[in-house]
Structure 1
Amino acid sequence: MTQQPITPNEGSATELKRTLGPVMLWGLGVGYVISGMYFGWNLGLPVGGTLGLAIATFFIIIMYVTFTFSYTELACAIPKAGGVFDYATRAMGKDIGFVAGMAQIIEFVFAPPAIAAAIGAYFHIFLPQFSVTGIAVVAYFIFTGLNMYGVKAATTFELIITAFAVFELVLFSGVTLPHFHWTNLTQNAFPNGWEGVWAATPFAVWFFLGLEGVANVAEETVNPQKNVLKGFGSALLTLIILCALVFISSVGVGGWEKIVYATPGADASDSPLPLALGQITGNSGWLYHLLITIGLMGLVASFHGLILAASRATYEFGKTGCIPVVFGKIHPKFKTPVNALLLNMAIGIIALFTGKTGDIITIACFGAIVLYIFAMIAVLVLRKKEPQMPRPFKVPLYPWFPVTALIIAVISLVAMTSLNIKLAVIFFAILALAYIWFHFIVKRKTDVQSTTVNR
């Protein structure tokens, strides 16, 4: 049952504690995304080739640069845990805000089970007596519990694990770059022409998916008007450098086919780094096992970080009455959204048991792209609607930055839809059903309650 929305001033039950600084935000921003460097992106190589995926990634980097600066303007001006939900609501009203917030929740709730499955697959190599799904479920309980315990503990862990993951990628590049050959980048580099660039776009998005989650902890950030920009900007710069290093060093060892297919004719692998390393160190050397073990840190960092971001988005939905307000409560002792964390864990585990990891990733990408579109529209609308609103940070080269991000996001959405029609129908059906429920049940009931209170 949905109750009347609660305002943030009604006590500690709905207040988050401010503990995060710019270094913690950097750890979160890089941590949310870094698993995308470890797996999944190489699946864009069979359709795009080296050049096709590189071109797609170039435009996606432009999108993320322009998006990040634009989104930072919103995050600094409206430092709320709901992220795009709060921004779009203020710019375009409750209905559009709900749809934007729902897209955000789909991204943040569906990305973790895909990463959990990858964690399960990694551990299954060392613990073959346990199933991949079983290990993934255990990971959900462990990291949901850590997030329930406290945001300071959760983000400290995230910072440490992210530092290990970054170190591993730098070490990986140090091992592979001496074996780099330019001819490996140019071999069969453009197999499907410009159509391949189109098809590779979702995999380029996967390189950076989740970065916007930094905005969802703005309500828990000390001096968010300054620190959000520092955390966002430094995280993006780090990720762009890592993306280039991983792409060049992986493909440069033996060509893109060697980091997609373990053996000729085999199914495409989503583990490009081990395949690249195997060509240099073999599959049994100490260096190979060391790098693979540390590489697990990247998956853990993204999994843990996205659990945190998802809980804040769900919490804001509960706090404002879009879902039952019990999910908008803060634990009196731990000062974390425990109920929101438990709800997201339940949904994630259900998604895990479908076994459709690739489909789950694609649906999460749909949520991200729709989020980006609504966010950029919100930047443009608020500049006209509320020109006097305090903006501690303003996006440079306005309106070119938000317009550029908006155009690339729309093109990406068209590309993803044309290549994944079935999943697009599922995603937009979820949005449509959620909106119908919100508009005709939640919103109507809230309006009736407000009228009764005002009499």
Structure 2
Amino acid sequence: LSAMYPKSAAEFVYTEEAFKKRILSFILGWIIIFSGILSAATVALAFGSYLSGLIGIPSLFINIIFAVLLIVILSVINLIGIKTSTRTNIIFTLIEASGLIIIIIIGIPSFGTVDYFALPPASTFTAVFSSVALIFFAYIGFEDIANIAEEVKEPHKNLPKAIIYSIIITTVVYCLTAISVVSILDYNSIATSEAPLNAVAAEVLGPIGGIIMSSIALFATANTVLIMLIVTSRMMYGMARDKALPKGIGKISPKFRTPTIAVVLTMCITIVPILFGDISLVAHATVFGVLINFILVNLSLIALRKTKPDMERPFKLKPTIKWVPIIALLGSIICIALLFTFSWEIVLIQLIIVLCGIVVFYVMKSKIETKSIPINQN
């Protein structure tokens, strides 16, 4: 889909083109904006926790202060321009990757010493399946590549490659990291640790190992927050440009060529959930919203195969049953199943977000174009 429609506000565009229901695409865009905001808030709180622990003054208040400062600093970087943001992202990613490589290397001597398929005595399928929803948070971000399509060279060719390669590389690294962790620590130690990778490094390298991993974790969490702030502001910009949000949000800085109002608005709203200080609650709310996003994007792919069979597809998903892509169908079903694992509090949070979106939609209705979004295919 990113190759077919290389536009900002990607999921918003896909849904609009597939279903021609502006309220549906608007609500999806609205959910994605708040999922990005909640995701940035979650990881910013994790950053605050790592930093306060590293300097020896751990407290919720200090965590929140550090998290807010991180949001402000990274928003300034986001405001300066995509080149500055990209350079920062590359540096932080290299540091982050080095931390995972360290964990993998120190775990290699212990590979094969434990049963990797053993489950805790009290484990059930329901418990395991429920944990998948939260683990899903670690895989959020690949879809965000599509939202910077307008700032990518040859997006029709490069976007699919970027998404596929990043998923493959990340999955391999994550699997090796997980094997290393469970090879060094037992599952009880992992479950009770607030920073399992730090515990692994400290177990093998001593206290200095924990300090090194905590320092690397600061760059890793900051990197994730930066990406979420970039993507969320671009979603706001794309929706404002297509008159689904007030046009002022789509204003571009003549100096930095970035969506100034969208960046500042994203920063301000992201600070709000940080003030609650509950990482788990915010993380679960984020994943719930992302699952809704994935469901509608997969359904959009299926619908477009039926409604626009002759449209050029630089990258086509196979195999299919008639015109239905099997992977997209399975993706929708699995995501729907995962929605039933969340608590009523999380469902209520998302319901409130959706209801607020509906109110905004009808307030903006006179300004929102009901026709399809014009897509430049060139």
Q: Does 1:280 align with 2:204?
A: yes
Q: Does 1:123 align with 2:23?
A: no
Q: Which residue of 2 aligns with 1:14?
A: none
Equivalent residue for 1:441, pick from 363, 366, 370 = 363
Q: Which residue of 1 aligns with 2:313?
A: 391
Q: 1:257 to 1:369 in 2, by over 3 A?
A: same
Distance in 2, matches of 1:242 and 1:370, equals 27
Shift of 1:364: 0.7
Letter in 2 for 1:421: W
Give the root-mean-square deviation of aligned CA atoms: 1.9
C-alpha contact (below 8 Å) 2:130/2:338 kept by paired residues: no
Letter in 2 for 1:335: R
Shift of 1:190: 5.3
Q: Which residue of 2 aligns with 1:165?
A: 96
Q: Which residue of 2 aligns with 1:409?
A: 335
Shift of 1:180: 4.1
- Per the alignment, in what secondary structure is the counterpart of residue 277 of structure 2? coil
Pairs within 5 Å for 1:128-143 = 128=56, 131-143=62-74
- Structure 1 length as normaliser, TM-score? 0.76
Q: Which residue of 2 aligns with 1:96?
A: 24
- Per the alignment, in what secondary structure is the counterpart of residue 341 of structure 2? helix
Distance in 2, matches of 1:112 and 1:447, equals 30
Distance in 2, matches of 1:168 and 1:192, equals 30
**Structure 2 unmatched runs, 5+:** 371-378
Shift of 1:120: 1.0
Q: Which residue of 2 aligns with 1:431?
A: 354
Q: Which residue of 1 aligns with 2:36?
A: 108
**Structure 1 unmatched runs, 5+:** 1-73, 263-268, 449-455
- Structure 2 length as normaliser, TM-score? 0.91
Q: Using the aligned pairs only, state the percent identity.
A: 24
CA shift digits 1:362-395 (9 cap, x unpaired): 1110111000000011111111111222221111
Q: 1:335 to 1:317 in 2, by over 3 A?
A: same
Letter in 1 for 2:184: V
C-alpha contact (below 8 Å) 1:210/1:368 kept by paired residues: no
C-alpha contact (below 8 Å) 2:54/2:211 kept by paired residues: no
C-alpha contact (below 8 Å) 2:42/2:283 kept by paired residues: yes
Distance in 2, matches of 1:332 and 1:341, equals 14
189-198 or 106-115, which deviates more: 189-198
Q: Which residue of 2 aligns with 1:321?
A: 243
C-alpha contact (below 8 Å) 1:184/1:255 kept by paired residues: no
Q: 1:276 to 1:447 in 2, by over 3 A?
A: closer
Q: How many residues align?
A: 362
Q: Which residue of 2 aligns with 1:16?
A: none
142-151 or 429-438, which deviates more: 429-438
C-alpha contact (below 8 Å) 2:47/2:217 kept by paired residues: no
Q: 1:312 to 1:303 in 2, by over 3 A?
A: same
C-alpha contact (below 8 Å) 2:298/2:331 kept by paired residues: yes
Shift of 1:324: 1.6
Shift of 1:234: 1.2
C-alpha contact (below 8 Å) 2:31/2:353 kept by paired residues: no
420-429 or 291-300, which deviates more: 291-300
- Per the alignment, in what secondary structure is the counterpart of residue 183 of structure 1? coil
Q: Which residue of 1 aligns with 2:166?
A: 235
Q: Which residue of 2 aligns with 1:360?
A: 282
